[in-house]
Every structure is written in structure tokens, then in C-alpha cells.
Chains A and B, each alone.
Chain A
Amino acid sequence: MKKVAIPGVSGKKQGLHVCSTCGNYSEHQTHISLCPICDNQIYLRKKNSLQKTWALLITAIIFIIPANVYPITYLLKNNILYPDTIFSGIISLVDSDMIGIAIIVFVASILVPILKIFALIFILLAVQLRWRLSATKQLLIFTFVDWIGRWSILDLFVISIMVAVFDKGNLLSVYPGIAATSFTIVVITTLFAAHSFDTRLIWDAQTLTDTQNNNIQER
């Protein structure tokens, strides 16, 4: 009963879809939305993939501003509150001759989130506007973004540890600031944005431009 999948041709064209849970492919039927093998929901493509990615990405873009402008930590030393933004922290690291750490923090906390956002925007635009770019290169960028994204959480780890460790009341304490929350939102939303993007759309976009103008752009 099972159709034999032909390699090199997209599953969509063959009327096949792959279950994201068990990995088996089955024939696509409009009225059936459950995987015949494992009984989980099955889609031809991720539902509203582009929409979701865009929405999450925009949220990330909004929150990345306060994350960088507002203080991420408050250091209470001798009863005086010293607020620190991400950037001022990096600068003070540079000032105290810890350039190596400064670079790591800069990459993880500033560069990576921004790059991630730009990379995702680029891929999304490429899919939607059907720029004829190399699909493999786009995938490479996406894979990189997906991989690097988790490292941005490093900063938050450091903050949470500092808050827990430096708790000596008025003498020495660390409190998280607004930026910490904002930054967390940025990291999470970008992670989810990357996750909600269906990489197969890259190929869909390329093949669709070849064959016909269809509504794929709307997805």
C-alpha cells in the first residue's frame, strides 16, 4: 500500500509527508491528519511556520533594545547600587585588562543575538521573496544559527549564579535588572523562532518559483 519514495524529489511533490514524531513517511491525504504508524498529528509542512517565526523574531527585535540599554545587573556594594548594562560590563572587563573574557561576553551577549536575528530575517526574506539563492548555503546559515543560539543563554547563567553567590546584604549583593529579563526573552524567542522555521520551505520556495506562482509565499 505504501508509496515508494523517490529520492531527489520533494515529498510534497510525491504526495508524501513525514511524521515528525516517528519519522515514517506516508501518503498525504487532506482529510487524514494523523500518522498511520504512530497516530500523532502529521503535517505536510509546519503549520504557519513563517508567521510564527516572524512574530517571534519581531518580539526578539523589540526586546533586544531594552536588553542592551537597561542595566542587566545591579551590584550593591557598601550600600551603594552600581547598575551595569551588558555593554558597560564589557567595557569594565576591557578596562580591567580581561579582553579575552570581554570578547566572549561580547560575542555571546551582543553579537550572537543580533547575528541570529539578522540571519533569520535574511532566510525568511529569501524564502518569502524567492530570492534564488543557494538552498544549501541558506541551510548552512540556519544550522549555524540554530547551533549558536543556545550559547546566548550563557550570560543569564552567569547572572543567576552571581545573584545566588553574592548575597551579603548591604555589603555585597547582586540583583538582576530589567535587561536580564529582556535578554532572556530575546534568547528564548530567537530559539523558538529558529525552531518554528521549517527548513523545507527553502526548497519549496525554490521549486515554486520554477514551476508556478502559487500561494506559497503566504505561508
Chain B
Amino acid sequence: MTDDQTQNQATIAKKSLISPIWFLPIVAALLGLWILFQNITHANTVIKIHFENADSIIVDKTRIRYKGVIVGTVKKIELDTSSGVNIIAEVESHAKFMLREKTQFWLVSPKASLTSITGLDTLFSGSYINLHPGDGDDATNFSAVTEQPITIPDNSLLVNLQSENAGSIRVGTPLFYKNIEVGEVVRVRLDKSDQFVNIKAFINKKYSHLIKQDSKFWNISGLRANVSTAGVDFQLDSLTSLIAGGITFNSPHDSKTLIDNKSFTLYDNIDASNAGITVELSLNNITNLPKGAGIIFKGHGIGRITDISYSPEQQKFIATASINPQFSDMMTDGAQFWLEKTALSFAKIENLGNIITGDFIGFSPAAKSTESRSPQSSFIVRQSKAPIAPVLSLLLLADDASGLSVGNPISYQGLQIGQIAELDFSKNGQFIEAIIEIDHQYQYLINSSSQFYLLSGINVKASLKGVEVQSSPLQNLISGGIGLHNKFPVKKTATPVALNDNIRFRLYPSKSMAKLGKNVFSKPMHISLLSEKLPSVSEGSPVYYQKFPIGEVSGFEIDDSGLMRTKLAIQGQYKHLIQKQSVFWNISGFKVNAGLSGVNIEADSLLAIATGGIAVDIAPKGINTKFKNGAYKLFTSYQAATQPTKKITITFNEGYELQVGTKLRLKGLVVGEINELVLNSNNRVEAIIDIDPAFVNKVTRQGTRFWIIRSDISLAGAKNLSTLVSGVYLNVLPGKGKLATSFKGEGSAPVLANKNVGLPIALLTDNGGSTDIGSPLYYRQIQIGEVIDKQLTEDASGVEITLNVYPQYSHLIRDNSIFWPASGFNLNIGITGASLKSTSLASLIKGGINMSTDDSVGLKPAANAFTRFELKKEFNEKWLTWKLAIPKP
């Protein structure tokens, strides 16, 4: 037990310690107390509000708010003993101070009207009761108001208006000043006398200075139609005012500031208010301009004509207009008035309504500038709208006014930069003067080198490639217009060039004309050409210089001498191209070159094909291009004019497939063609050939050889297959003798005509064997030449085979060289078996000749041309073992 006791004593010692865990309940207790304290001090106040009905009020859900802050909750709804319901609500302690006798409560529920949608949030959150604090002692019993009390923004100005009738004015109707909403009607009440309507409106604080002692208010509600003999005049202010009505006002600048609680009169309209300022407008004519016509600024009516009278002194009509005072500050010098007429054209339909209502007057204020403008009260009305910014007026001279009308756009690279302002005859009646106006911001584009051209609607370019239609915008297509062309691009930063005052621009008929320059307008040059036959051109056919049209055919005549006279009109700017040495030729139609490579059609131009044409160029010296009477000759072609072709005659034994038109080719180039084929007295074919002048000197010399190239198909190969399709042609190998006109032609290629002229050698053999023209000559199985001829010897004792050894191999042929046929195969049948020897497959088919040179006797001299060798019949194996070194010469 002593053990236990000591143990217990030890425990007692520990007992005196209080566990730190007690800290926890102490803190908890303190917290609890604090919460309790908070609860007591922030106890909700219970209030009672009397409502007519409890629509959309839900216990525990409907809140009481003040400026959007929830300050309380409906806790209970009970029926009042008399009428209506009592709402018991708890208001949080922090809002307690607002619970005064005059505090107002009202129910906010979603309300949508034409002008505004209010309480939209309540759609989702449900209705709530709004609180508006008032004065008085503390209170807990309230009576709700039926509608939202007038809430006036702090510090705003209240104005009282008096009106005959309320019109469309109601609570919420906005007040406008220069179409800016500055306030709102807050109350519409009948006056105590029941004679007037009292309207109370507030003006937002920041606009309150606008109301002055002499401010005038008028109604701009809705759509107003003014029906008179002049037509119906519709006047419409802002859409809001159309729907909800509106009040606007004007305050004279010099009026005193509002001092007392003055009551203003609300006029029915601006006219009644007499607030408009008066301006005088002078007009040249008043067609369709009714009295009461509107003055419209950017579509907004800013005034109307109140009276029109005629002033005999000025010989003008003076229209008196009343301008909405809001716009009075725009009536300064520089402001413009113009007559807006109905424009009914293909380009546009403007102001169609004017047909019914009569014209109106357009207005635009003076351009903004640093210097202040002085007010002005009399203006001149222009006939059409003038650009607002200072425009650049230019005078264009046009030959005729077709395609031009006032208002047509001036465009530069498709962008409109101005318009035609006026069209008139020039003083001498020769031109049409078009005054164009270039907008301010594009004036830099105009310099003295600028060119204007008529924008024609459609530009069709037809070529063999297809038809290309270029059309300017539809507007131009219909209405035309004027384009601007600048030779040199103008930088945007360029300052407008000061132009000479009386600078005149010409109107070019097209852009391409404009590019050509001023000479377009110089007078055309007339020249006449004489020819035996009338060229296949017609009036209007173009005249080309280097394929560039420079004029046209203007007419035809039969000359006294019986020649046909073709008259040309060359455009003035190209006069210089026509000189004494000019040569004219007809370029009508096509030139077709058909070859294996395809058909090549050369046409001078599509227009030339269709209408024919005449080309002109400067002829080389020494060629007569004129008749004695001074008229130019018209040649059938340039060649005919400048280089008369030379005719030569070639006689052939056989005509083969020659025909008129067969070409004569030199190394593939066409140098002439057969003009005529005749059978001469010797029963031979004579081909009369036109030689291209350029080649005459080369081709028509003695020693020149002509032969016919035909297709040749054999086992050895096919040659000149192209002639199968394109027909035969004549080949020519120029000689070096004197010029001649008569030649002898050959039916096939001459032996020496091979391109690779090398060493010709002859082989003698008993029969031709399988060798043929073109068969190869092999040395160590490498082709070093070919058979170019195979003929009987003169005495017919054998066959002479002519070989051509290629130049690079000609040194291989030595005097002691041995030749044997390589054709076919060699079959040896012996005891050991059969051996079949064949050279290359090609030689198996084409045949061929082998060559070798004995190496045992040393190097013999190289063979000379036309050295005769024997073609061995038998082949010796030994020959293949010879290894003679033959150095290159």
C-alpha cells in the first residue's frame, strides 16, 4: 500500500496543474458573449407597412431596399381590419435611423414601357419594397405609397412649365437640348384652376446652367405633319421623342441666369415659341419650293421658310427662314444653303420625296477653321450642294458632253475625288466646258500634268486568249464619269500644286488616249496610198506602226490612173512617224504556220483580222515607196515592199511530192518556197522558187545543191518522218560560186551532204550483202562511220560501197586496214560444237562493216579520201586480236 500511496502522492503533485485545455472553453465563452452582445445591440427593428394589396410580396423573400442595399425582410403579411394588408417587416439595425415618420415605402415590380424598362432585376429576384428616407421622429408604422415618388437627382434644377394641354408629356418625358437629353419630366398635374397643366421637370446639374431667364420651351413630341398647299411636311425629332414625346428649349446667349422659381410656358412647337432666328435667303428661282419648305441639316430639320418675296432690285427671290435657335450659332459666314431638288437619273434617285413635298433647302455650316466666323443673317442659296471643304474647281474642255452630266463623279483609280459641278458651252462654242470640283483632301492629286479622261462604262478586249471585259463600277457604267490619270504617281504627302488660274484641262476620250498626251487633239494628217487592188480593209480599219494603232483608214477612191486610192487619217500626235521613206503594206488576215510542232497562227491584231489593217514603217534606203505623183504605194507585205524576192529555177528529174508552197530550208530555216511548178520541154519538173531576200546571197550561188527531203522508212531506221505529216521540203546546201538563177535539184540527199563530213572511202565487193545506206562501220564494236552510198561499179563488175568515216575517227583508216561485213551472225559448226558469233544487236538488224588494221607490219600511213578497199568475204579470228596503236594526228 505504501507503494500506492507514494504513487498517489506523486499524482497529487500533478493535480495542482490546471490543464491548458481550459483556455479553449474560456475563449469560446468570450466569443459566445461577444456574439450575444452583437445580437442584442443589432437587433432588427420590426415595422409595419400598410399596403393596398400584397401583390407579389412573399414572406421571408421580399426585401426592403434602400439604394439597392437590402435593409430588411418581410416577415409576415396580415390583413388589415379596415382595408388592405399590413406587412410586418424586420429592418436591420443599421438602417434603423431611416425609419422616420415621413419615410416612404413603395413596391418595385418590373415595369416595361416604350421609353424605359425599370425594375428589370425584379423579374428574376422578385419584387421588393423600396425605402425612401424622410424626416420626422422615429416611427414603426408606415403607409406605403402607390407609386414611386419623384426622385430628383441631387442638386438638379427643377423647372416649372405651364402648358395648354399635356399632349404626350408624361412623367419620364425627356428634356432635350440640341437633341441631348438633359432632364426629365417628373410630374404632370392639372393646375388648381383646371386651366393649365403644370409640368415639373428637372434638369441635370451639369446642364442646369442652360436654363436662363428667357429660355423658351416647346414640345417636340412625336411626329408632326404640317399639311398645307405646299404639301405635307413631316417633322420628326429623335426616336425617343417620337415614342415618348419630348421637350426641348432654347436659351438666348445674352439672357440672364435663372434666379427665381420661374414658371415657363411650354409651347406646342417651335413656331409657336417664336424662338427661331430669322435669316434671309436669296434664290434665283423658287420652282417647287413651297412656303414652309424645310431647311435640312444632315437630314435634321433646323428651320423652315416662313415667307418668300420677290426683290425687284436684286431680281431675286428673298426667302425668309426661321432657324431653330439651337443652330443659330451655325449661321455664320461660310455656311451654305442650297436647293435640294429631286434628282431622278440612272445614276441616282435623290429626294424623291420632294415630288410630293416640294423641294427643300439643304444647309451645311461653315468649315471649321481657326479664325472665328462672324454671324450672318443673309445667305445666297446655291443651285446644288457645294462641298463643305474648299474645293478645287477645274475647267475641263470636252469635245462633246455625251456621257457627262452634272454630279457625275471624278474618280482617280476608282476612288471618287470630286464631281462635275457644271456643264456649259465654251465661249466660242467649240467645246463643252465642264467645271469639276475636286474634294479638298484629294487636291494634291492634281497638278499641271494631270489628265482627265471619260470613263466609259465597258471596255471589251477580245483576243485569241479570250474576251476580257473591263467594267468600271456599275455607277460609272450607267452614269459615266471622269477619270483622272497622273503620269507620275503623286505622293500623299505632296502639297497641292498651285495651278495657273486659267489652266484648262482637256478631257480625253479614254484612258489610253490620256496616256498618249495632248497631241491627241492635234489635227489628223491625211495621206493617200495607191494600189492596184483595193486592200482588204474597210473604212475605220486601223493603221499600225509597229503594231501600235496610229490612225485609221478614212476612205477609198479610184484614182484617175485607174489605181485604187486608199486614204488614211493619221492621228496628229503620230504625224512625225510618216516620212518620205514610209512604206505601207496590207496586214490583213492571218498567217498560219503549220508544222509538226503544231499550228502557229500569227495575226497582227484581232482588229486587223476583223477589219484588215495597214501597217506603216520606215523603209530602208534605196527603196522606192512612192509613185511619181507623190502618192505612197500600198504593198501587199513588208517584204514585198522592201525586199523583192528573187526567183530561181530548180530542175528536178522527178517531182515527187513537191507542190506549190513547199518550203526551201537551209539548216532547217525556211529560206524560200516553191512558187510555181512546171513541166518543161525536157519532161522535167521545174520548180520556180521565191527566195527570201535575206538569203538570196547565200543560197543562189553556183555549186549550191538542192534536194528533196522525204520520209524514208527502212529496216535500218526511219528518217525524216516529220515530212510524212508536214510534207516534203527542199533542203539546200549553199555553194560558193557566183550568183545564179538556175539549178539542178536532186531527188535524194547527196552523198556529201552528210553533216559529219569525214573521210570518204570506197569498198569493193561482189554484192551489196546486207549493208545498206546508213549501215554503220565498226572498229572494236564502236561505230566510227557509216555507209552513205551503195552503187554498182561503173562496169557493173561489182558493188562499190561508199563509207563516210567520221572526222574524229578518220585517222584510224590505214592503208592496210581490213574490212569485213559484220552483218548477221556467224555460225561455226565443228567437232567441238557449234559457235554462234554475232556482233551487236543493231548490226544484226542493220548490218554493218567491221574494220581492223594489221599490227604486225607497223603503222602504215593514213588512208586518203576515196581510197578503195576490198570488203573481205571471209572473216578471220586473228583480225580481232590485232592491237595496233594508232596515235591521233
Q: Please give the residue numbers on chain A whose beta carbons come within 8 Å of chain B beta carbons, in ascending order.
A: 15, 28, 30, 44, 47-48, 51-52, 55-56, 58-59, 62-63, 65-66, 70, 78-82, 178, 185, 189, 214-215, 218-219
- B22 & A51 in contact (Cβ 8 Å cutoff): yes
Q: A residues within 8 A CB of B235?
A: none
Residue contacts A-B, CB under 8 angstroms, 26 given: A30-B10, A48-B21, A51-B19, A52-B19, A52-B21, A56-B24, A58-B25, A58-B28, A62-B25, A62-B28, A62-B31, A62-B32, A63-B28, A65-B32, A66-B32, A78-B125, A79-B121, A79-B125, A80-B61, A80-B63, A80-B70, A80-B125, A185-B28, A189-B24, A215-B11, A218-B12
Contact with A51, one of B21, B29, B31, B70 (Cβ below 8 angstroms): B21
Residue B253 interfacial (CB < 8 Å):
no
Residue in chain A with minimal CB distance to B30? A62
Q: Say which one of B1-9, B298-306, B319-327 lies at the interface with A.
A: B1-9
- B15 & A15 in contact (Cβ 8 Å cutoff): no
Task: Determine chain B's interface SS by DSSP, over half rule.
Answer: helix
Expressed in whole angstroms, the minimum distance between the Cβ of A187 and any Cβ of chain B is 14
Residue B610 interfacial (CB < 8 Å):
no
- B15 & A59 in contact (Cβ 8 Å cutoff): no
**In the bound complex, what is the Cα–Cα distance between A58 and B22 (angstroms)?**
9
Residue B693 interfacial (CB < 8 Å):
no
Q: B residues within 8 A CB of A48?
A: 17, 19, 21
- A66 & B124 in contact (Cβ 8 Å cutoff): no
- B125 & A55 in contact (Cβ 8 Å cutoff): no
Q: A residues within 8 A CB of B11?
A: 215, 219
Q: B residues within 8 A CB of A70?
A: 35
Contacts beyond the supplied A51-B21, A55-B19: 17 A-B pairs with Cβ under 8 Å: A15-B3, A44-B7, A48-B19, A51-B19, A55-B21, A55-B25, A56-B24, A58-B29, A63-B28, A66-B35, A78-B124, A79-B121, A79-B124, A80-B63, A80-B125, A81-B70, A189-B24
Q: B residues within 8 A CB of A63?
A: 28, 32
Contact with B7, one of A30, A65, A66, A219 (Cβ below 8 angstroms): A30
Residue B715 interfacial (CB < 8 Å):
no
**In the bound complex, what is the Cα–Cα distance between A51 and B32 (angstroms)?**
21
Residue B18 interfacial (CB < 8 Å):
yes
Most buried by B among A58, A59, A63, A218: A59
Q: A residues within 8 A CB of B126?
A: 78, 80
- B8 & A28 in contact (Cβ 8 Å cutoff): no
**In the bound complex, what is the Cα–Cα distance between A15 and B7 (angstroms)?**
10
**In the bound complex, what is the Cα–Cα distance between A15 and B5 (angstroms)?**
12
Q: A residues within 8 A CB of B10?
A: 30
Expressed in whole angstroms, the minimum distance between the Cβ of A171 and any Cβ of chain B is 8
**In the bound complex, what is the Cα–Cα distance between A48 and B11 (angstroms)?**
10
- B63 & A59 in contact (Cβ 8 Å cutoff): no
**In the bound complex, what is the Cα–Cα distance between A58 and B70 (angstroms)?**
37
**In the bound complex, what is the Cα–Cα distance between A114 and B346 (angstroms)?**
94
- A55 & B22 in contact (Cβ 8 Å cutoff): yes
The 3 lowest CB-CB distance pairs between A and B, nearest first, are: A58-B25, A62-B28, A78-B124
- A30 & B125 in contact (Cβ 8 Å cutoff): no
Expressed in whole angstroms, the minimum distance between the Cβ of B444 and any Cβ of chain A is 56
Q: B residues within 8 A CB of A81?
A: 70
Q: B residues within 8 A CB of A52?
A: 19, 21
- B7 & A28 in contact (Cβ 8 Å cutoff): yes
Contact with B24, one of A15, A55, A214 (Cβ below 8 angstroms): A55
**In the bound complex, what is the Cα–Cα distance between A44 and B8 (angstroms)?**
11
Expressed in whole angstroms, the minimum distance between the Cβ of B129 and any Cβ of chain A is 13
Contact with B18, one of A15, A30, A51, A185 (Cβ below 8 angstroms): A51
Expressed in whole angstroms, the minimum distance between the Cβ of B264 and any Cβ of chain A is 42
Q: A residues within 8 A CB of B31?
A: 62
Within 8 A of A (CB), among B611-639: none
- B28 & A59 in contact (Cβ 8 Å cutoff): yes
Expressed in whole angstroms, the minimum distance between the Cβ of A50 and any Cβ of chain B is 9
Q: B residues within 8 A CB of A79?
A: 121, 124-125
**In the bound complex, what is the Cα–Cα distance between A52 and B32 (angstroms)?**
20
Residue in chain B with minimal CB distance to A45? B11
Contact with A218, one of B3, B15, B25, B61 (Cβ below 8 angstroms): B15
**In the bound complex, what is the Cα–Cα distance between A82 and B70 (angstroms)?**
12
Q: B residues within 8 A CB of A178?
A: 35
Known contacts being A59-B25, A62-B29, is A215 close to B8, with CB within 8 Å? yes
**In the bound complex, what is the Cα–Cα distance between A176 and B888 (angstroms)?**
112
Expressed in whole angstroms, the minimum distance between the Cβ of A58 and any Cβ of chain B is 4
**In the bound complex, what is the Cα–Cα distance between A65 and B17 (angstroms)?**
30
Most buried by A among B3, B15, B24: B24
Residue in chain A with minimal CB distance to B60? A82
**In the bound complex, what is the Cα–Cα distance between A2 and B8 (angstroms)?**
23
Residue in chain B with minimal CB distance to A53? B21
Within 8 A of A (CB), among B98-141: 121, 124-126
Expressed in whole angstroms, the minimum distance between the Cβ of B59 and any Cβ of chain A is 13
- A214 & B8 in contact (Cβ 8 Å cutoff): yes
B59-81 CB mask vs A (1 if < 8 Å, else 0) is: 00101000000100000000000
**In the bound complex, what is the Cα–Cα distance between A51 and B24 (angstroms)?**
12
**In the bound complex, what is the Cα–Cα distance between A218 and B18 (angstroms)?**
11
Most buried by B among A47, A62, A70, A219: A62
**In the bound complex, what is the Cα–Cα distance between A178 and B12 (angstroms)?**
42
- A56 & B15 in contact (Cβ 8 Å cutoff): no
Q: A residues within 8 A CB of B28?
A: 58-59, 62-63, 185
Expressed in whole angstroms, the minimum distance between the Cβ of A191 and any Cβ of chain B is 13
Q: A residues within 8 A CB of B14?
A: 47
Residue in chain A with minimal CB distance to B18? A51
Q: A residues within 8 A CB of B8?
A: 214-215
**In the bound complex, what is the Cα–Cα distance between A89 and B11 (angstroms)?**
49
**In the bound complex, what is the Cα–Cα distance between A47 and B24 (angstroms)?**
17
Residue in chain A with minimal CB distance to B68? A79
- B15 & A215 in contact (Cβ 8 Å cutoff): yes
**In the bound complex, what is the Cα–Cα distance between A30 and B14 (angstroms)?**
12
**In the bound complex, what is the Cα–Cα distance between A48 and B21 (angstroms)?**
10
Q: B residues within 8 A CB of A82?
A: 61
**In the bound complex, what is the Cα–Cα distance between A189 and B28 (angstroms)?**
11
Q: B residues within 8 A CB of A65?
A: 32
Residue in chain B with minimal CB distance to A50? B19
**In the bound complex, what is the Cα–Cα distance between A66 and B32 (angstroms)?**
8
Q: B residues within 8 A CB of A218?
A: 12, 15
Most buried by B among A55, A65, A81, A215: A55
B23-53 CB mask vs A (1 if < 8 Å, else 0) is: 0110111011001000000000000000000
Q: B residues within 8 A CB of A62?
A: 25, 28-29, 31-32
Within 8 A of A (CB), among B193-240: none
**In the bound complex, what is the Cα–Cα distance between A189 and B25 (angstroms)?**
10
**In the bound complex, what is the Cα–Cα distance between A30 and B3 (angstroms)?**
10
Residue in chain A with minimal CB distance to B29? A62
**In the bound complex, what is the Cα–Cα distance between A62 and B22 (angstroms)?**
13
Q: B residues within 8 A CB of A28?
A: 7
Within 8 A of A (CB), among B737-756: none
Q: B residues within 8 A CB of A185?
A: 28
Expressed in whole angstroms, the minimum distance between the Cβ of B58 and any Cβ of chain A is 11
**In the bound complex, what is the Cα–Cα distance between A70 and B24 (angstroms)?**
21
Q: A residues within 8 A CB of B35?
A: 66, 70, 178
Q: A residues within 8 A CB of B17?
A: 48
**In the bound complex, what is the Cα–Cα distance between A44 and B4 (angstroms)?**
12
**In the bound complex, what is the Cα–Cα distance between A131 and B349 (angstroms)?**
112
- A215 & B12 in contact (Cβ 8 Å cutoff): yes
Residue in chain B with minimal CB distance to A58? B25
**In the bound complex, what is the Cα–Cα distance between A48 and B14 (angstroms)?**
9
Residue in chain B with minimal CB distance to A218? B15
Q: B residues within 8 A CB of A78?
A: 124-126
Residue in chain A with minimal CB distance to B23? A55
**In the bound complex, what is the Cα–Cα distance between A66 and B39 (angstroms)?**
11
Q: B residues within 8 A CB of A189?
A: 24
Expressed in whole angstroms, the minimum distance between the Cβ of B228 and any Cβ of chain A is 56
Known contacts being A15-B3, A79-B124, A218-B15, is A56 close to B32, with CB within 8 Å? no
Q: B residues within 8 A CB of A47?
A: 14
**In the bound complex, what is the Cα–Cα distance between A52 and B22 (angstroms)?**
7
Residue in chain B with minimal CB distance to A44? B7
